[in-house]
Structure 1
Amino acid sequence: MFTALRIGTLYFGSSFLTANWLTRMPDLLAHLGVDKATMGLALFLGPVGALVTAPVAGPLMDRFAAARVGVWGLVLAAMMVLGIGLAGHWTILAAVLFFAGVGNTLFEIGGNAGVQRLETTTGGKYMAQCHGYWSLGFVCGALSAGLFGQFGVPLPLHLAAMAALGVVACAGIARLLPRPMYERIARPVDVAKPPLFTLPNASLLGLCVMATGVTLAEGAVYDWGTLFLREQLRPSPFWTSVAYGTFPLTMFVGRVVGDWFRARYRASSIVRVCAATTAVGLAGFIFSPHIAISGLSLALMGVGVSLVMPIGVAAAGDKPGDAARNVAAMSMIITAIFLLAPPGVGFVAEHFGLTAAFVMMLPFVAMSGVFARQADPPADRLAGQQKMIGEPAAVGGTNASTT
């Protein structure tokens, strides 16, 4: 538990910073004087920054180790929070979000690869718990932003304070991360250096499709959820942040207990339940008549979303090939798919309303359930896991754990 808490500070810091500006999306729109379609174009640059960064993350980790790449990424992301607050035009915001995408991708790949290496080295399970701290950071960040908004603190001043806090915190976070996350993978001298980026095999592609379905809906709620609540139900900024905060809060709870479930149930079964729960929660959120029902629906959706990405990341490390590069490749593929999401949602929202944009997410959530079996580990590893927990090995290779 203490080890997961130490690693969790890295994940907490990332989401805390992100939530502070996303929760104030309505204020950011008003500050820039732009519509939803234009904001969608600005948000588009975030995934572009991630896309160009993912291929170099593997070589950076080879040279500097996963933990250093993750911390450096968080420092860059924190600095970009200041840029978001100071941006006076949507094109400047787009450029800032490009570099925020670079920083967040370095954090994500470095952090996840470091945790995957720690699990391999120690035999412990930390991935879901670490992602849980990301969710907890988003809760705290959303509530923090709600209070700043409720008391009328100007957006530039608010985000400048958060950026300074983030950069200072990174120095402490770097000291807390476990030593194995700082270890570089030693490669025998007679083994050729791996390529910068390798094309993923069919199993990794299927895994990316599985993870993308639910996370597209998750991303839509993060990007547009507060704006949807303010437009549809018109609550105060504080109660908007409270309802919005239930989403990452229950996601945190699901991820804290998630490693217990991962050790006992098939990954594919967990993903199917998560996809169904996400769909029900999303539908409730879309058609909610009251802010309290919206909060309960987002809470249910948070439970559903909680384990899909941690399971996907852990499963990517189990696929054939270099584990760190598999994680980087998965991040790059998902990011490429996400490129069209912000402008797509923004376009639909501007012309047909945010309700239609969120309804558009439901088929993608169903897609995660359809491809759930891609999260199961290889049959030989499955048999060993099932033997350890006393379960008979099933025909066809379903799993009891993904790490």
Structure 2
Amino acid sequence: MDTALTRRQLVAWRTAIFTIFFVTGLGFASWASRLPAVKNDLGINDLQIGILLFVSGAASIVGLSLANVIVVRWGARRGMIATIITFSLGVFVVGLGVQVLESYAVTAVGLGFMGIGMAATDVMMNVEAAAVEQAFERTLMPLFHAFFSIGTVVGAGIGVAMAAWGVGVAWHLGAIGVLVLVTGLLSLRLVPTRETMHDDPATKTSRRERVTEALAVWRDPRTYAIGAIMLGMAFAEGSANDWLTIAMVDGHAQTEAVGAVALTVFSVAMTVFRILGGPLVDRIGRVWTLRILAAAAAVGLVMFILAPSLPIAFIGVALWGAGASLGFPLGMSAAADDPAKAAASVSAAATIGYLAFLCGPPILGWISHEIGILPTLWIIVGLIVMSGLASGAAKPIAGSHVGAGHPRERTGGSAA
């Protein structure tokens, strides 16, 4: 049975999960920031880089699928120990493969470990984040995802500095791998053991019963409705990450520098709204927040597509980024409303969302080749509208006050 935690233990738990989100983003961006050096050191072409990215993406799908099994077998806390080790080992092996061994195959193996470790960790850290939300009875998931975004910004910045100073990929990624490993494992020492996450080896629930419960979420219509929310917003976010700069250059006849500025505006808007999103959700509720932001994202994207001038395009980009900011984290939060089903539900919803991240860019690329990049973005507008229409599925279930809006006023409870 789960025991009550002191305020100090709760704060330590929250800090630990913030840290894990941060170092995961840091590790991922560190690899991504050195892609030009990877290409140069291995002497490979764009097609071979594409194959490496495919290996990473395919491994991520495996990691998402394994996350639920890992929780059932070892529990969330012990499972994350294994997946963080896997992720950090992958980062280290990539650095070793690129510069020391100069081996394409070893680099691909490292990316496989990275993909599996990061995706599985992603599911479990979101489960833990949702549990922290329930413990504090406040919406914190957007802030957790903001820490991941901050980690990617810091990781990219360090990558730029390493490249400018001529530091090799092996030294850079080796150091990052060790940093992720040590910081992640130290943080997990502060994560409490909870029976609801199967962390207690003495729990009386059999493994077979846990597997049955884990598979049951795929028969729940709410899983697919939440998946629709995350699918639309994952496309909205992923399409910007992969195609915004190209849309600025090819669609609006701007320079590459302007395209980079546009992507920066989008990323800043997303990060700011993730930092500020929690209080907004607690004020008006998870469902209305998602509806309003879906409308903002759709309007912003339409403005960008039809923009008659550069300032209008940038306003559209800012609205697009702000509107897409909370769909994924709030979908994760909604999926984890029931602590007993949190790991399975988050894994299922995350699988749907990440499929959009991984499959969306090549699909959009093929379509844009046929009709042009700006007309292709109308598909994203439709998916954003779908996400907004499905937002009712994010309504908190009975017994969960997180994301309900004005929870204290309705329940008459005292502030925590």
> TM-score normalised to the size of structure 2?
0.74
Choose which of 208, 211, 235 in structure 1 pairs with 2:257: 235
State yes or no: 1:316 paired with 2:316: no
Q: Which runs of 5+ in 2 are unaligned?
A: 1-9, 412-416
Which SS does the other structure have where 1:8 is aligned? helix
CA–CA distance in 2 between the matches of 1:365 and 1:114?
28
CA positional deviation for 1:154:
4.9
CA positional deviation for 1:209:
1.1
Residues 4-403 of structure 1: pairs in structure 2 closer than 5 A: 4-25=14-35, 28=38, 33-35=44-46, 39-85=49-95, 86-87=97-98, 95-121=109-135, 123-151=137-165, 153-177=167-191, 184=199, 187-188=203-204, 193-195=209-211, 197-198=214-215, 199-223=218-242, 233-235=255-257, 240=260, 244-282=263-301, 299-318=318-337, 322-345=341-364, 347=366, 360-378=379-397, 388-390=407-409
Which SS does the other structure have where 1:103 is aligned? helix
Which SS does the other structure have where 1:322 is aligned? helix
* Greater mean deviation of Cα atoms: 59-68 or 37-46: 37-46
Aligned residues: 388
Which SS does the other structure have where 2:257 is aligned? coil
Distance 1:175 1:42, change over 3 A: same
Q: Percent identity?
A: 26
Per-residue displacement from partner, 1:358-400 (whole Å, max 9, x unpaired)?
A: 66533333321222222113478679957844469xxxxxxxx
Is the 1:34–1:90 contact (alpha carbons within 8 Å) kept by the matching residues of 2?
A: no
CA positional deviation for 1:202:
1.4
CA RMSD, aligned part only?
4.3
Is the 1:316–1:326 contact (alpha carbons within 8 Å) kept by the matching residues of 2?
A: yes
CA–CA distance in 2 between the matches of 1:145 and 1:297?
29
* Greater mean deviation of Cα atoms: 285-294 or 350-359: 285-294
Q: Which runs of 5+ in 1 are unaligned?
A: 393-403
Per-residue displacement from partner, 1:126-172 (whole Å, max 9, x unpaired)?
A: 32221221121122222223333445555555434433332333233
Is the 2:229–2:391 contact (alpha carbons within 8 Å) kept by the matching residues of 1?
A: yes
> TM-score normalised to the size of structure 1?
0.76
Aligned partner letter, 2:224: L
Is the 2:72–2:211 contact (alpha carbons within 8 Å) kept by the matching residues of 1?
A: no
CA–CA distance in 2 between the matches of 1:95 and 1:257?
39
Is the 2:149–2:271 contact (alpha carbons within 8 Å) kept by the matching residues of 1?
A: yes
CA positional deviation for 1:191:
9.8
Is the 1:63–1:184 contact (alpha carbons within 8 Å) kept by the matching residues of 2?
A: no
